[in-house]
Chains A and B, each alone.
Chain A
Amino acid sequence: MSEEPLIRIRNLHATAGGVEILKGIDLEIRVGEIHAIMGPNGSGKSTLSNVLVGKPGYEVTKGEIYFRGKNLAEMDPEIRAREGIFLAFQYPVEIPGVANNYFLRTAVNAIRAHRGEEELDAMDFLSILREKMKLVEMPEDMMSRGVNEGFSGGEKKRSEILQMLLLEPAFCILDETDSGLDIDAMRTVANGINQMRSPDRAMLIITHYQRLLDYVVPDYVHVLSGGRIIRSGDKELSLELEAKGYGWLEDGEGTPA
């Protein structure tokens, strides 16, 4: 464990719309690891994911984030994506008029170009796309529709996982990907996520509930509250939270794990 972590977050303070939400986060994630972040509403979980991908409106006021030894503060969102950071959005946006397959190929080729790989033509891309679509059980006709246009909640989440499978990021952040999914969709999405598990890759799963973690078992679990990580542990911690809720931890905020 002496190697440089894939991502290293030190004393991170950040504001969203001018309000301080994150108040000193320290977190290191190495390749091959899966971390889960749990916590009540308003604890800063989504702010953390938005800060990691550089969403406008979120500002780092103190501390730093290093990804593969590079300072993220200097990277535009598209550069972070090309470097291998991926966020599966909690609320994926609909973009009518931009066809899914065209969007996906543009994204894949932007990332391939960044890695010095040859761009894929429409035919080559299509065969890769078909293979990945099977993994998330997406029907082919969804590809000629606009990005997320008219998709159900579950279809949007599967679409996010499809994007992750195609872009093959080194660091996957899943922001409440399990919310609003029925049990079948949950299993499909979990399958997709497990496809991405690899010794070369790390994941950060943000969730309210234990249930996704039944399918995608984390190595570490952190509890975020009031903009800080108040407790860290292994997968047992998530089971404990499921049983007891967050109250018992928040009462004794700052108790070492």
Chain B
Amino acid sequence: MSDSLDSLVRLRPTGGSGWAGSLREEALASFLEQGLPTRRLEEWKGTNFAPLGAMDFTRVGPDHSSGDTLNRPCVEISSEEHGLVFIDGRFDAAASQRSDLPDGIRALSLAEVLDDEPELLTGKLGQLTDLKRQALVALQTAFLEDGAVLVIDAGARTVRPLRMRFISTTADAVSASFPRMLVIAGENSSVTLLQEHLTVGAAPGFTAFVAEFHLAEGARIESVQIQSEGAERIHFTSVHARLGRNARFHSHVFSLGNGLVRSELDVQLAEPGAETMLCGLFIGRDKGHTDHFTTIDHAAEQCTSDEEYRGVLGDHSRGVFRGRVIVRPGAQKTDARQSNANLLLSDHASIDTKPQLEIYADDIRASHGSTIGQLDSDALFFLRARGISAANARLLLTGAFAHGIVDRISDEELRQIVGAVVDSALRSLEHGALETGDPSEGVSKQ
């Protein structure tokens, strides 16, 4: 057990030359100074990340020794789509599709950018994070080598969603991956983005993902993130967005994995008229632990935030939700809404939910609410009285609850994709909870 993750730190990239090298060194120093976050910190009260310190890492990045064990067709972006694939944090050009991107949109690997045009990153990469206060972001930055860089010129738009697929492979070794993402959206550009975090293999490991979104005036981003890493994986995500005047950032986070997960989202409404919608759904099963920590910073006037997270928790899973909303002095005409509703499906599941409003302006509207409930027993009985099995009745009800979040995705294609993975996660939860399933009549959405 080590607060400084000796076995991991030993595996960090060396030969730190140039700008990236000094950033990594600075980040490492910050991490070592802070150590692993503990529950003594207010922001980490609900989550114990000590298991990370207990991991004995032997590999960072792709596994070159065991050959290619991946099922390539599952990993690759199909030829009708656009997207980048990262295996254990490193860009995989063969699996990616980036020819014929719409005009004004570039999808690059961070390693390429660092080599060829590092000036692209100046004033952007690392600008939205705080290495001195965010230990795990510092740790991620200490391993910064590769990731996705999306550069969207003013007025450019995606036609179909861009897919960013981050795959962790854990055949045997205890491995870690550190994918990074930087999105620079020019004035009045419009981007729809899918990020997937998946695990192949069942060995323990750690993924730390940091993303930064820079939205210029009038830029619009719809970002959908699906995290479905394995039970033995510790997953850390930290997403940061800065919105310029009248920019719009819609985030849809789906945490479906059953490992230890910390998902941070930090949105700065930096200039007047910016608007954000933060939706999230977490589905907990087995002994999964999912912690969502969101911060919305109303730093300018006339900005709007609408946050809705829902949790479905079964088995022995545990959920944590912290929704921090800051309304700075002068951020008049702020409209901030927040809600967190939770469904507990088991006596052993639990949720720890807390809104945290810090309001320093007077002419604003702010609301928040959180609920914790169980499935409606009358509704359950009604469905059973119509011949629907108890298991399928529960699935219909949890599905309805979960799809309330899925349906807020505006992109039709992504709504379908997410709907299918959410249904599948709910079925795993239901069938894991049951000794015997009823395979003759699994619910299938039309």
Please report which residues of chain A, range 63-86, place their CB below 8 angstroms from some CB of chain B when the two chains form the complex.
76-78, 80-82, 86
B residues in contact with A167, CB < 8 Å: 386-387
Instruction: Say yes or no: is A113 at the interface (Cβ < 8 Å to chain B).
Output: yes
| B interface: dominant SS | helix
From known contacts A97-B401, A102-B446, infer whether A110 and B389 are also in contact, taking CB-CB under 8 Å: yes
Which of B377, B388, B440 is the one whose CB lies under 8 Å from A106?
Answer: B388
Shortest CB distance B416–A (Å): 16
B residues in contact with A146, CB < 8 Å: 400
Shortest CB distance A186–B (Å): 23
A92, B385: Cα distance in complex, Å = 11
Instruction: Say yes or no: is B381 at the interface (Cβ < 8 Å to chain A).
Output: yes
A residues in contact with B376, CB < 8 Å: 93, 95
Shortest CB distance A74–B (Å): 15
Instruction: Say yes or no: is A245 at the interface (Cβ < 8 Å to chain B).
Output: no
Shortest CB distance A207–B (Å): 20
Scoring B377, B383, B393, B443 by chain A CB atoms within 10 A of each residue's CB, the highest score goes to: B383
A residues in contact with B386, CB < 8 Å: 78, 81, 103, 107, 110, 163, 167
* A–B Cβ pairs within 8 angstroms, 14 of them: A56-B381, A78-B385, A78-B387, A78-B390, A80-B385, A81-B384, A95-B396, A105-B446, A107-B387, A109-B441, A110-B389, A110-B392, A163-B386, A167-B387
B residues in contact with A109, CB < 8 Å: 441
B residues in contact with A56, CB < 8 Å: 377, 381
Question: Contact at B387–A111, with CB atoms within 8 Å?
Answer: yes
Question: Contact at B403–A78, with CB atoms within 8 Å?
Answer: no
A92, B445: Cα distance in complex, Å = 24
Question: Contact at B387–A82, with CB atoms within 8 Å?
Answer: yes
Instruction: Say yes or no: is A130 at the interface (Cβ < 8 Å to chain B).
Output: no
Give 9 new A-B contacts, CB below 8 A, not counting A77-B381, A77-B385: A81-B385, A95-B376, A95-B396, A95-B400, A103-B386, A106-B388, A107-B386, A107-B387, A113-B440
From known contacts A95-B397, A98-B396, A113-B441, infer whether A77 and B403 are also in contact, taking CB-CB under 8 Å: no
Instruction: Say yes or no: is B19 at the interface (Cβ < 8 Å to chain A).
Output: no
A164, B272: Cα distance in complex, Å = 57
Shortest CB distance A80–B (Å): 8
Please report which residues of chain B, range 389-446, place their CB below 8 angstroms from some CB of chain A when the two chains form the complex.
389-390, 392-393, 396-397, 399-401, 403-404, 440-441, 443, 445-446
Instruction: Say yes or no: is B382 at the interface (Cβ < 8 Å to chain A).
Output: yes
A residues in contact with B159, CB < 8 Å: none
Shortest CB distance B179–A (Å): 35
6 closest cross-chain pairs (CB), A and B: A97-B400, A81-B387, A107-B386, A110-B387, A77-B384, A78-B384
B residues in contact with A89, CB < 8 Å: 382, 385
A residues in contact with B384, CB < 8 Å: 76-78, 81
Which of B389, B396, B404, B445 is the one whose CB lies under 8 Å from A103?
Answer: B396
Question: Contact at A110–B404, with CB atoms within 8 Å?
Answer: no
A residues in contact with B387, CB < 8 Å: 78, 81-82, 107, 110-111, 114, 167
